[in-house]
Amino acid sequence: MLKQYLEIGRIVSTHGIKGEVRFDPWCDSPEFMKRFKTLYFDKNGGKSAAVVSCRPHGNIVILKLEGVDSIEDAQKLRNRILYMNRDDAKLKDGDWFIQDLIGCTVYDADDNDIIYGKLTDVSETGANDVWYIEKDGKEYIIPAIKDVVIKVDAADESIYIKPLKGIFDGEINGDK
């Protein structure tokens, strides 16, 4: 089941004396943060804060939240994780969040009886993401490219792949 509220980053320090904070966004780019008018202090969306201003500053974001009006207020928020409401992200069809992929079962696209394992991590590289799959204590690495990743159904927690030759040969379900 997809989580409604997702971690979007962490407040790392204060910025100035008027309550702004330096925010480390855990998304593709600091620009992504401009989409949000409200952020949340818990994973259930219970406590929210309106975003007064948000401006990218290198690889971080300078963020001003409603009700945080002094350096003392901002200091109290240091190291706090902020969450976003999935509905506010407005992703294109076929896009997903890394958090949605972690824990998905990875199947062979041609033979659903072959299970390669569970997706445990994603590394973002310059050319393409790299996905880490674990099964029976062994870790396998695949490139997240169109020729390999055939279908992702995050809601069903399923990923279907056509692995490159040699990655799983003879390791999964006997001989492949």
Provide the CATH number for the domain around residue 31.
Answer: 2.40.30.60
Residue 147 domain boundaries:
98-161
Task: Give the mean pLDDT of 12-21.
Answer: 96
Mean pLDDT of 105-127: 93
- d(CA 44, CA 89) in angstroms, rounded, equals 16
Res 31 pLDDT > 90:
no
User: Which of the listed residues 68, 89, 110 is the one where a domain comes to its end?
Assistant: 89
As for how many domains the chain has, the answer is 2
Confidence of residue 175 (pLDDT cuts 50, 70, 90): very low
Select from 45, 62, 89 the last residue of a domain: 89
Residue 138 located in a structural domain:
yes
**CB-CB neighbours of 32 under 10 Å:** 17
Residue 170 belongs to some domain of the structure: no
CATH number of the CATH domain containing 113: 2.30.30.240
Pairing of strands 20-25, 38-40: unpaired
- In a domain, residue 175? The reply is no
- Please indicate, yes or no, if residue 117 is contained in any of the structural domains: yes
Whether residue 174 lies inside any domain: the answer is: no
What is the number of other CB atoms lying within 10 angstroms of the CB of residue 169? 11
The residue out of 89, 119, 146 marking a domain boundary is 89
Q: With a threshold of 0.75, does the pTM exceed it?
A: yes
Q: Is the pLDDT of residue 142 over 60?
A: yes
Query: The tokens of 37 are what?
Result: 């008018």
The mean pLDDT value of the chain amounts to 91
Together in a domain, 25 and 47: yes
Radius of gyration of the chain (CA): 20
Stretch 118-132: mean pLDDT: 91
